[in-house]
Amino acid sequence: MAETTGDKDRELPESTSEEGAYTVYAACEGKGKVSLVNRNSSNAHPVNCGGAPTVGLIYAEKKAQHLKIQVVGGTSVWKIAVVSGDHQS
């Protein structure tokens, strides 16, 4: 998924990794708290705001994933890129 930016909740495009994992790069600025959420569950993974970008690896089944960005407690501008595979090294 290409880099996406915003300042409020947004459903991200559906994506499928043939490798069983995704590398996520995310950052934000502002007073709100930003999280990456799987739309099929309530698990929220926080994004670091105002500092070093958040980089994480998500293991997932080789089926369509439905993620969203959630902003609570104020306004934040965020950006995120999701890349198929393990690209942390």
What confidence tens digit (pLDDT) does each residue in 4-61 have?
Answer: 999 999 999 888 887 888 899 999 999 999 999 988 777 889 998 998 899 988 888 8
pLDDT, mean of residues 64-75 = 91
Does residue 89 sit within a domain? Answer: no
Does residue 42 sit within a domain? Answer: yes
Does residue 57 sit within a domain? Answer: yes
The pTM score is: 0.82
Q: State the total domains in the chain.
A: 1
| CB contact at 8 A, 25 and 83 | yes
Residues spanned by the domain of 50: 4-84
Q: Residue 70's domain is classified under what CATH number? A: 2.60.120.260
What confidence tens digit (pLDDT) does each residue in 27-40 have?
Answer: 999 999 999 998 87
Strand order in the sheet with 76-84: 4-6, 76-84, 21-30, 54-59
Q: In whole angstroms, how far apart are CA 80 and each of 18, 68? A: 20, 10
